[in-house]
Amino acid sequence: MRVHERPLAGIKVLDLTNVLAGPYCSYQLMLLGAEVVKIEMPGRGDLARQLGPDAELNRHGIGASFLAQNAGKKSVELDLKDPDDRAVFAEMLGGADVLLENFRAGVLARLGFDRDRLRSLNPALIACSITGFGQTGPMSQAPAYDQIIQGLSGMMSVTGTAETAPLRVGFPVCDSIGGLAAALAVVAAVAARQRTGAGCHLDVSMLEASISAMGWTVSNYLVAGVPPEPTGDQNATAAPSGTFDAADGPLNIAANRQEQFERLCRIVGRADLVTDARFADREGRKAHREALNDELNAALRARPAADWEALLGDAGVPAARILTVPQAVESEQLRHRGFITDLPFPDGSGRRLQVVSSGVLFDGEPLTPPEPPPLLGEHNADVPALVAAWRGTGGIPATRTPSSAE
């Protein structure tokens, strides 16, 4: 799928965000076809440029954390505390469709771009603010990182076992959820603007988005009054459903339906478990989960996990090995779907960079980045042309072209 055929082709995004939640949002918008220009602090840029496991890349301002979600974007250096740079930014805003920012609540207004000013510069602008707690409320000024949100959302309290909880989820899930919530809201606002012609302000709270994404864990308490507890690798809603012991390592099985349970028992050679009164129905199996798991684990240890994955999968029983991240990203399934894209490194070193897609195929084709992530300030000289093209006037020059040397 060519860039101009993508759903958000023609949508212009100014991205003031850094690190993860905001850049993840703008990466999703870029994959959908939007033109994204990162506005970065001169000489420093997005903090993610210095983050990642490769110290050499960090020193060169292209850390792995930055490379992961900034492909296909442009980079322009502007210092919004500088009057001239603010004037350039204001001109860019006049032609933008979307503004993304993840400053602490009130910071953008103190820089001279409150909602009234944004509306006066561009009544059709969709301004999206991504913060830990939202723009209002008693915690609106509190600093927040992913781990802080994981703790305050209750997520950590239900991760692990009764002995090990609370545990942090093994990746910055709240940042990703916040970014996805913001991207969804932006797309909805773009659609609404086609009807109304008016822009809007989107106030995204990572805390609220994360609690929303916890689904049944939260609704079990809100609806049924049952406080959730950590259940480790077991599914609290069904049994047998969780992680089991194959001959060579762990195996996930989710026999959540009656017919799946019965097929599982027959395939592992324990058809007698189907007629055991303790395991006759879902509630009974949940009540006697430990005894049922012991019986199944004894049978499952007879074969390797890959064998059970094939046998159970063929019978319609969800089952799969537990992979490492390298095994997961190298799987044939992802290769078949074109999920990972090879790009050149932005520094011209000749190295190849691999980045992920969104997991969505449009008309059978994956959405992949057209270009590698930008070097800091790589598109400084393009600002006058960008402003002219965005505003559609045929030539409004920027007040000045910022320089990465400043």
The structural domains of the chain, with segments of one domain joined by +, span 3-213+335-391, 241-323
Q: What pLDDT was estimated at residue 1? A: 45
Residue found by looking up tokens 């860019």 in the block:
92
Q: Please, which pLDDT band fits residue 348 given cuts at 50, 70 and 90?
A: confident
Q: What pLDDT was estimated at residue 402? A: 46
Q: For residue 127, which of 31, 16, 30 has the smallest C-alpha distance?
A: 16
Q: In what order do the strands lie in the sheet with 249-254?
A: 241-246, 249-254, 319-321
3-state helix, strand, coil in the chain (%, to 5): 40, 15, 45
pLDDT > 90? residue 4: no
CA distance 99 to 324: 37
Q: What value does the mean pLDDT of the chain take?
A: 93
pLDDT > 90? residue 349: no
Phi and psi at 241, nearest 5°, equal: -155, 110
Q: How many CB atoms lie within 10 A of CB 169?
A: 14
For the domain 241-323, what is the CATH superfamily, name and number? formyl-coa transferase, domain 3 (3.30.1540.10)
289: tokens are: 């989960």
CA distance 371 to 73: 8
Q: What pLDDT was estimated at residue 22? A: 97
CATH entry, 3-213+335-391, from 3.40.50.10540, 3.40.50.720, 1.10.1280.10, 3.90.1560.10: 3.40.50.10540
| Torsion sign (Cα): 71, 75, 80, 86 | negative
- Contact call for residues 76 and 93 (beta carbons, < 8 A): no
pLDDT in tens, 221-245: 999 999 999 999 999 899 999 999 9
114: tokens are: 């409150």
Q: What pLDDT was estimated at residue 391? A: 82
95: tokens are: 């032609």
pLDDT > 70? residue 143: yes
Per-residue pLDDT averaged across 236-259, rounded?
96
Phi and psi at 58, nearest 5°, equal: -60, -40
Q: What pLDDT was estimated at residue 399? A: 41
Q: DSSP class of residue 5?
A: G
pLDDT > 90? residue 355: yes
Degrees, nearest 5: CA angle 354-360-364: 100
Per-residue pLDDT averaged across 160-164, rounded?
94
Residue found by looking up tokens 């000749």 in the block:
350
Positions annotated as catalytic residues are: 175
CA distance 399 to 13: 20
Q: Please, which pLDDT band fits residue 406 given cuts at 50, 70 and 90?
A: very low
Per-residue pLDDT averaged across 163-189, rounded?
97
Q: Which helix (H) or strand (E) holds 246?
A: strand 241-246
338: tokens are: 């074109």
Query: What's the count of helices (H) and strands (E) in the chain, helices before strands?
Result: 18, 13
Q: Please, which pLDDT band fits residue 367 given cuts at 50, 70 and 90?
A: very high
pTM: 0.91
Q: Which helix (H) or strand (E) holds 201?
A: strand 200-205
CB-based burial label for 26 (10 Å; 0-12, 13-18, 19+): buried
pLDDT > 70? residue 69: yes
pLDDT > 50? residue 8: yes
pLDDT in tens, 282-327: 999 999 999 999 999 999 999 999 999 999 999 999 999 999 999 9
Q: What pLDDT was estimated at residue 350? A: 85
Per-residue pLDDT averaged across 198-207, rounded?
97
DSSP β-bridge partners for residue 367: none
pLDDT in tens, 10-63: 999 999 999 999 999 999 999 999 999 999 999 999 999 999 999 999 999 999
